[in-house]
Amino acid sequence: MTRLRMGMIGGGLGSFVGPVHRIAAEMDREIELVAGCFSSDAGRSRAAGESYRIDPARAYPTLDAMFAGETARSDGIDFVSIVSPNHHHLPAARAALAAGVPVISDKPATATLDEARELAECVRTVGLPYGLTHTYSGYPLVREARARVGAGMLGTIRKVVVEYPQGWLAGEAVGKQAEWRTDPARSGPGGCIGDIGTHAFQLAEFVTGRKVVELLADLAAVVPGRAVDDDCTVLLRYDNGARGVLLASQIEVGEMNGLRIRIYGDKGGLLWRQEVPNTLMLHSLDGRTEIVHAGGSQLGPDAASRTRTPTGHPEGYLEAFANIYRDFAAVLRGEPAPFLPGIDDALRGMAFIDTAVRASRDKAGWVPLTV
């Protein structure tokens, strides 16, 4: 089997998530990074290419140069991975799709809902694969949680509590990652709600299999002078009548990446925590709690096939990302990958951000969530 050739957009020197994508994409030896436009600065793109040890001729100064260069080669890229800041996702995806190149993009899909609609139209018109790296849906025990909820082990879902606390923006926004995330021109109108709230929203819908139909949002820019929200409280109503609470914050001092989800049905409950990702707690009505371990023999087929290390040997973020890439590689090979987030998730995520921002700003109370 030949490896799929990946181009990267963004992910330059000192970037957060570009190197993570590189490691994850290559983990299963199905994909190889061969080209990129890693920065808006030609010299920095070249330097990043060197650090990734790709052919220097394939570290391009612009998107146009990359797509012209790669489409002219017999061994040109099979897809691109977009890991630039949010405002650059749409132009990057549009350029790729116009060149006939499939796209996997980091979240949020775009900076605004209008852009996401344009992207969706573009994806549907061109008919090429589009994947969205909602990393947390790639964790084996998140897949197991979804399978167990789907099999009815919790009964009818009544309550969802999803929290995503971070503390790294509790003070002044210092550094590359903080600067663009707190600039609405580059992050989009949502700050924290777009950066991590959208992960929490997608995780809750992914595990429950239920859709949010209404929300009530209170988003605050707590740090003085901040132009986007940094602390979010959102109440949710699901399509089956279940109630939900989504808390996302980047000003909770001491919190690192504390994403956790609790789901309660009429037969049981569950708990999964991103910082302890290799255990899943399942509670029964009779008071018993089962602890499911990653790598354990009790895992269903989806979670088992997405686990790489034996029980007790920790795995986490990189492997979860690799699972998303494995699913995307399957799609490129024409195989099914039903759990890969795609353009519908892209639209839902952007609709969630847009609705929450408007509802909070307008003090609108409960508002419908429509895509």
Ligand X SMILES: NC(=O)c1ccc[n+]([C@@H]2O[C@H](COP(=O)([O-])OP(=O)(O)OC[C@H]3O[C@@H](n4cnc5c(N)ncnc54)[C@H](O)[C@@H]3O)[C@@H](O)[C@H]2O)c1
Residues that bind ligand X (CB under 6 A): 9-12, 15-18, 37-40, 83-86, 88, 106-107, 133, 135, 176-177, 180, 195
Q: Which residues pair with 268 in a beta bridge?
A: 284
Closest distance between ligand X and the C-beta of residue 18, in Å?
6
Closest distance between ligand X and the C-beta of residue 156, in Å?
31
Q: Report the candidate in 78, 41, 83, 35 with the shortest Cα–Cα distance to residue 59.
A: 35
Closest distance between ligand X and the C-beta of residue 80, in Å?
11
Q: Report the candidate in 163, 142, 157 with the shortest Cα–Cα distance to residue 234.
A: 163
Closest distance between ligand X and the C-beta of residue 106, in Å?
3
**Unique residue bearing structure tokens 């994947």:** 131
Closest distance between ligand X and the C-beta of residue 176, in Å?
5
Comparing CB distances to ligand X, the nearer of 164 and 238 is 164
Comparing CB distances to ligand X, the nearer of 148 and 195 is 195
Closest distance between ligand X and the C-beta of residue 240, in Å?
28
Closest distance between ligand X and the C-beta of residue 195, in Å?
6
**What is the distance between the alpha carbons of residues 361 and 280, in angstroms, rounded to a whole number?**
37
Closest distance between ligand X and the C-beta of residue 69, in Å?
15
Comparing CB distances to ligand X, the nearer of 24 and 369 is 24
Q: Report the candidate in 126, 31, 22 with the shortest Cα–Cα distance to residue 329.
A: 31
Comparing CB distances to ligand X, the nearer of 40 and 51 is 40
3-state SS string over the chain?
CCCEEEEEEECCCCCCCHHHHHHHHHCCCCEEEEEEECCCCHHHHHHHHHHCCCCHHHECCCHHHHHHHHHCCCCCCCEEEEECCHHHHHHHHHHHHHCCCCEEECCCCCCCHHHHHHHHHHHHHHCCCEEECCHHHHCHHHHHHHHHHHCCCCCCEEEEEEEEECCCCCCCCCCHHHHHHCCHHHHCCCCHHHHHHHHHHHHHHHHHCCCEEEEEEEEECCCCCCCCCCEEEEEEEECCCCEEEEEEECCCCCCCCCCEEEEEECCEEEEEECCEEEEEEEEECCCCEEEEECCCCCCCHHHHHCCCCCCCCCCCHHHHHHHHHHHHHHHHCCCCCCCCCCHHHHHHHHHHHHHHHHHHHCCCCCEECCC
Comparing CB distances to ligand X, the nearer of 37 and 113 is 37
Closest distance between ligand X and the C-beta of residue 297, in Å?
30
Comparing CB distances to ligand X, the nearer of 238 and 328 is 328
Comparing CB distances to ligand X, the nearer of 187 and 278 is 187
Comparing CB distances to ligand X, the nearer of 45 and 278 is 45
Comparing CB distances to ligand X, the nearer of 207 and 292 is 207
Tokens of 337: 């990958």
